[in-house]
Chain A
């Protein structure tokens, strides 16, 4: 068991320990879970918090991830705050239930420790798992560091349960790279976390037997589409809620989070867009090139669903050349999902940059500062010639 002081001082924690610790502080009502690498230690550590009486959570150790999310749906509909964690095949097995959780407007909170999807089987990091769930109606927050993962999870509770949102949310962090590496982070006190997240009070609940309600009814076409419109509207409406809650969190923690993080982007002429831990690698390359007087920058979306298309277009408008780094391939002959989304977001911008897509880091393949510098070299060439030779390419293969 990781010993952590309930203070704001710096504490060395792995990503998974920080997530488990945040879950302990939140003290959710129900945690249905099934272990899978690399998210396993989140549930292991949380199980110890349950066993040691640190939380009052009902732990439901199901026989599969499908049942974990099914129990999550039952518990959330019953009126409970539900949190769980998974990775890769686990998220894939939950796939059917992800759509049911969002369609039923159940604010379940899930941590996904990003891992490559089989086949070939591989336990290391890429984003093919959560990218496969990008259209499942869940909000998605991505985390560069252990600190960001911890903070995102605490904010996620408020975002999901906000009456304007009422949608499930997943917090993503990179498998092994972030989940198993120790960083010094600043923890909030448990009182502060509990004060921030408050209590979950749904408008209707199965356990409210005095007011029996039917959940998950069958709908015919005339009812299905209006309900889907409501769900879609809630997803759109969640964007300012994410900003509001980040502002409130900043007052509590002193840490500021936007929908995106712009790194030396203002006057940059070329830029890289990247999610999660590799943003740190890219920032290092940016610093190296800035020291040489090159106008380079980076953009790291924190919120990916709903997609902050206007904010991204604004941040990249006027740049000469941009590379989107995708840690997943859509396997559609047109690159990765982040590339497709960002290119589409920029379509109607008169000053849109040239955009290329580079697929990197699949199944835990290394992505080093030199690889990021190589991408900037490619971008300088695009900037110089105004020509894109290779729109989409695998890096380091």
Chain B
């Protein structure tokens, strides 16, 4: 695995000058992942924050070949590019001089483009066994269009389509466990990571990109806008998400689950939600504390289940 020094020396493939917000979790995730391989990269991005902010014509932040086509189809789009690579390599007609070149294919999508509208295309691409890495940056809502709920939005969260009202206190449902659902496709590698732990994220990207077959990374990404949090707290909030076990760091490699980080002093979820304005109604309204208690109870259950699976074939 590359050291931080080695990583820092690598060429920046996602440049500054993009229009993502201050404190956005996406750029450090993308920059680190693009540095995790020495192979050539072809990337795609689902419609969303990363896409609109990185490709405002005639500018581009991408120093690798990159394509955007629509919202729900990043996985399908990348499999087309990967299929073209296989065919043209076979026919010795790759554009450019080197016919033997190795190319890694990466699709990026937000939680809306992955958990919700892009779910079918993702499942199909995983089942077909294409050689690609899918990266979901999960900031827990449709942030690009003004913070609407997604199936990744945490319980009790105030979004513009699950607003904290007089009667209903934000999102009423538990979030979809996408990482496990992806793992159920029995693909060679699935990982859950966070940008605060660059070593873990970088290691997981390196592993995923070295594998011949479909791989998946689910990476938590802070959104100061949608989380109603301070931009300077983004990385700390991602760290806290792992300390509270809201976002456990784990991987499933060839079917074996490994928990990569077990906090010695597991923090209460209260510490993660308190600095985020999207949960502030829970501290004021009647019934708010019950939602927080329910949040804690279900998180504890999930964490226990995960620990039971640690080291086992799943």
Contact = CB atoms under 8 A, between A and B. Distances in A.
A binds B: yes
Contacts of A220: 56-57
A37 B236 CA distance: 54
A206 B81 contact: yes
A154 to B, nearest CB: 20
A315 interface: no
A61 B124 CA distance: 9
A206 B83 contact: no
B84 A63 contact: no
A70 B77 contact: yes
A57 B124 contact: no
A341 interface: no
A79 to B, nearest CB: 5
Given A66-B76, A207-B94, A218 B52 contact: yes
Interface in A63-81: 63-64, 66-68, 70-80
Interface string B245-276: 00000000000000000000000000000000
A212 B88 contact: no
Interface string A110-126: 00000000000000000
A123 B103 CA distance: 42
Given A58-B87, A104-B69, A207 B80 contact: no
Given A209-B42, A218-B56, A73 B80 contact: yes
A70 B87 contact: no
Contacts of B98: 210
Interface in B80-118: 80-88, 90-91, 93-98, 101, 103
Interface residues of A, number: 49
Contact of A211 (B87, B94, B96, B125): B96
A68 B75 CA distance: 11
B192 to A, nearest CB: 24
Nearest to A106: B69
B55 interface: yes
B58 interface: yes
B65 interface: yes
Nearest to A208: B95
> Most chain-A CB neighbours within 10 Å: which of B82, B87, B127?
B87
Contact of A206 (B51, B60, B67, B75): B67
Interface in A194-242: 199, 202, 205-220, 223
Given A30-B84, A78-B85, 10 more contacts: A29-B88, A57-B87, A58-B90, A70-B73, A74-B81, A80-B87, A205-B65, A206-B42, A212-B65, A214-B55
Interface of A: 29-30, 32, 56-58, 60-64, 66-68, 70-80, 82, 96-97, 100, 104, 199, 202, 205-220, 223
